[in-house]
Chain A
Amino acid sequence: MTDRTTTIDDRRARSRPETGTGDAKTGDAEIGTEQVSYLRAGHTLRSWLLTTDHKRIAILYLISVTIFFFIGGAAAALLRVDLLTPEGDLLTNEGYNRAFTLHGVIMVWFFLIPSIPNTFGNFLIPLMIGARDLAFPRLNLISWYIYILGGLFTVVVLITGGVDTGWTFYTPLSSMFSNGNVVLAATAVFIVGFSSILTGLNFIVTVHKLRCPGMTWGRLPLFVWSHYATALILVLATPVLSITLALIAAERVFGLGVFDPALGGDPLLYQHLFWFYSHPAVYIMVLPALGVVSELIAAAARKPVFGYRFVAGSSIAIAIIGFLVWGHHMFVAGQSMYASAVFSFLSLVVAVPSGIKVYNWTATLYKGHISLDPPFLFAMGFIGLFVVGGLTGLILAMLAVDVHVHDTYFVVAHFHYIMVGGTVSAYFGALHFWWPKMIGRRTSVVWGRLSAVLIFLGFNLTFFPQFILGYLGMPRRYHVYAPEFQVLHVMSSAGAGILAVAYLLPFTYLFYSMRYGAPAGPNPVGATGLEWTVPSPPPKHNFATLPVVTGPPYDYEIEHEEAGKAGGGRKGKARTTRRDRADDQGRPTRQAKTAPGEEWQ
């Protein structure tokens, strides 16, 4: 990063040459009248379904991904209700197995993997790097159609009775023994994989080729860095999954002996191939969330992210090391003792970059101007749950311990802390933070805070007891369980009830705000970043003139002094103290350009 004192020039002012140095808000309002917002550029269904605008495609994804989240959630609700009693009175054994398989398949491939990249990544990457669209807009649309095609296959699987293999499709159960619809389900996942690959490719090319003048790699927002890392994994790992699924189908349909030992195949080969994809896939799910949280924390604290280079570099490190740890899923599966030791060690190594991020976020808050609005609360919730998930991951990486807790509820709790506590919290945080940008209207702060708190509490009540269940020896994927465990299961189901309400809640007030929310203005949160320089909702081609970036990301310093000078502040209180201003001596004083975050209630 460049020295602060030499970069007083406001790149947001420079990025809008056509409005000169005027007030940001009025300037953007003027643009707004010249350029129609992307939401109004065409009202027909056709104009949506054939759009190549990355923002509209993002909205298409937002809708479809949310639908799958609720289908997967319904399956989870079914599981949790069934687990209220040890005998599982609601479902048969077979029915339970089919329910958790669909829950897993839908949540992993149709929600978690596309969730943040395909919605927020799609919407924000071009805006953040100063581009008018992704590099291949039509490919982007095709990728959505492929996703929908895969989704339709999944729905067909659901209607025709489901699959009972677990989302991991372990062989030879899936290839030779299962009586579910394995081939169809594998086809669904195979198809949706292409959507991932195309989106990843699009992101990589976009970040390389379409950055606006002055947007150097060292100035990329951390959100973009983490999506770049994610895109690398999407492109490199997904093909392995596709091939593996094709091999399962070949074995099941044609009796080609690949994985079944009775045909001369090797079941462990399957596990190696599957986890070679699926472990990096966990990082596909969580890296974008890490990027979101870096943005939310910086904006909430009005401060540059502490150690920008370390945080950006850690995303790439996670992506690379993430490829080398797949064997930690196989410590008791029969891989060699030496291989296990290496995989265990590398799994501990991958914790380092994750730890760096968490410590750096904490340091970012130090001496910030922290807003306790919903996006920040979601980010805090994320960090808390992600840390618990990550640390229990370390416990799992300890070889002798994993031998005990592998394939128990301990693992179920661990990955839900990362994927649901982490990624889903970040997804909701992003939704609250960028909603005004996407829709052009503000939403309720009070309700947002309430749902952030409810999600956090409901989540912990649901999943914390599962750590205990697991350590006591309760295996996962159990429909019928020992009566001793009932108390803990009932707690978990009660938490799931709270969580269900908390997840539904935002959709009510977000929908409400679409009609009744106050207009947002270009920068309602007072954040830096090019996406906040364009009107909300942005015009079809984002930037009338391509911006030119002259400063580092997250240069919030100026705003502190300015806001202080302007005497603005929530509820009329002065935000900065005398000492703060004394500290700012010797710097040029200017009028506040954007401090509307103060009005965000």
Chain B
Amino acid sequence: MIGDLFTRWAGEASAHAGQVDLLVLGFTLLVAALSLPVFVLMVVFALRYRRGRAVNRRHPINRNVWIEVSWAIIPFILIVMFFVWATSLYVDIYHPPDDAIEIQVEAKQWMWKFQHPGGQREIDELHVPAGEPVRLTMASQDVIHSLYVPALRLKRDVVPGRYVSMWFTADRPGDYVMTCAEFCGTNHSTMGGRLVVMAPADYARWLAEADVDRSLAAQGAALFRSAGCSGCHGASATVHAPPLAGLYGRPVPLDDGTVVTADDQYIRDSILLPHAQIAAGYPRIMPTFRNILDEAQVLRLVAYIKSLANDPPSSQSPADDHPAGGQPPVEQGR
């Protein structure tokens, strides 16, 4: 049972985990070297100079600027070296490789839902292939949660109202614990599950066996019609609304003169908070879908619009051109 701690919890499931452990080890040695002299000297002084003991107490010093400055500066410089190391590891967490498999995560009190690009869905369990970078795009339906996989030494708060992402490459197949680290209400401590890292071939088999009706983008395409988006953004629409083919990843000029990039967050906000950013040249007529669509549905719509990224912008009829949804935006796991 205790063995589980060192495999399922604190096992090193990724190279990153090993680097964090190394950093902690090195830093612990440094702080031990800085503090042990204090502990030892305090005890030694307390015993040696205790009252009533005959010892040499000549020349006690009460100030010495050079000693002061040196024991402030030298430890500080040593610590700053570790700061650089720790920060560079942290910066890595913010730069997912372009070919990462993209998995969408929806958090809500008290469960985790995952959707693979091919449309496979799971709850409280996430299957990923070993050795391949995986990127999670996460949204929360209610309060703040935090996806935490100790064996990856990674966590990320899932803050409602925005997409957050986290990426990793797990190299060791196995079962790892996944928990919620941000207090999220009554059953916070039971909100968790497992991360299953599989050999790529096993993962491909798992993907094939999982029952899927359609890929994520195809589900989004269906939703695009049923929720009424195509009424304005579709080919036959008479309303003046921007076409969505070829939009993803491009710069969008706004009516206040700024330019933003059409990323996941921009698309989500356009659906849920349409009046926050108005594309230049279009009227302010889009209604909000806040009370109509939940985060999981919005994620599917985003996947669909993303799948049109490489279509020619001229196309006015995305929903009609791609009845089954386009290519998923990223390469799928094999």
Contact = CB atoms under 8 A, between A and B. Distances in A.
A264 B143 contact: no
B90 A340 contact: yes
A164 B23 contact: no
Contacts of B31: 391, 394-395
Interface string B67-92: 11001100110011011001101110
B52 A579 contact: no
A388 B35 CA distance: 9
B157 A362 contact: no
Contacts of A583: 57-59
A344 B180 contact: no
A333 B9 contact: no
B181 A371 contact: no
A330 B144 CA distance: 13
Given A334-B157, A355-B75, A178 B146 contact: no
A243 interface: no
Interface of A: 1, 4, 93-94, 96-97, 164-166, 170, 172-173, 176-178, 260-262, 264, 266-268, 301-304, 306-310, 331-334, 337, 340-341, 344-345, 348-349, 351-352, 355-356, 358-363, 365-372, 376, 380, 383-384, 387-388, 391, 394-395, 397-401, 403-404, 406-408, 471-485, 487, 560, 569-571, 573-577, 579-580, 583
Contact of B87 (A341, A388, A407, A573): A341
A576 B194 CA distance: 68
Nearest to A578: B54
A399 B189 contact: no
Interface stretch (B159-167, B239-247, B313-321): B159-167
Interface in B77-124: 79-80, 82-83, 86-87, 89-91, 93-94, 109
Interface residues on B, range: 35 or more
A97 B153 CA distance: 26
A368 B49 CA distance: 6
Contacts of A394: 27, 31, 79
6 contacts: A337-B91, A344-B86, A367-B58, A400-B19, A484-B5, A573-B52
A331 B154 CA distance: 12
Interface stretch (B38-46, B252-260, B279-287, B301-309): B38-46
Interface string B5-19: 100011000000001
A374 to B, nearest CB: 14
A387 B9 CA distance: 29
Contacts of B5: 472, 484-485
Interface string B148-178: 1011011111011110100000000000010
A398 B83 contact: yes
B17 to A, nearest CB: 8
Nearest to B58: A583
Nearest to A345: B83
Given A337-B91, A472-B9, A384 B39 contact: yes
B1 interface: yes
Contact of A173 (B9, B75, B143): B143
A578 to B, nearest CB: 9
A363 B68 CA distance: 10
A369 B49 contact: yes
Contact of B49 (A365, A383, A387, A388): A365
Nearest to A100: B183
A579 B142 contact: no
A138 B158 CA distance: 49
B87 A484 contact: no
B159 A93 contact: no
A282 to B, nearest CB: 19
A482 B9 contact: yes
B79 A348 contact: yes
A478 B59 CA distance: 55
Nearest to B183: A477
A395 B46 contact: no
Contacts of B144: 170, 172-173, 267, 333
Contacts of A164: 185-186
B80 to A, nearest CB: 7
B225 interface: no
A475 B27 contact: no
Nearest to B163: A334
B292 interface: no
A479 B68 CA distance: 46
B60 A407 contact: no
A85 to B, nearest CB: 13
B56 A579 contact: yes
B12 to A, nearest CB: 11
B87 A365 contact: no
Contacts of A383: 38, 42
A480 B192 CA distance: 11
Given A365-B45, A391-B31, A473 B184 contact: no
A480 B188 CA distance: 9
B331 interface: no
A482 B190 CA distance: 10
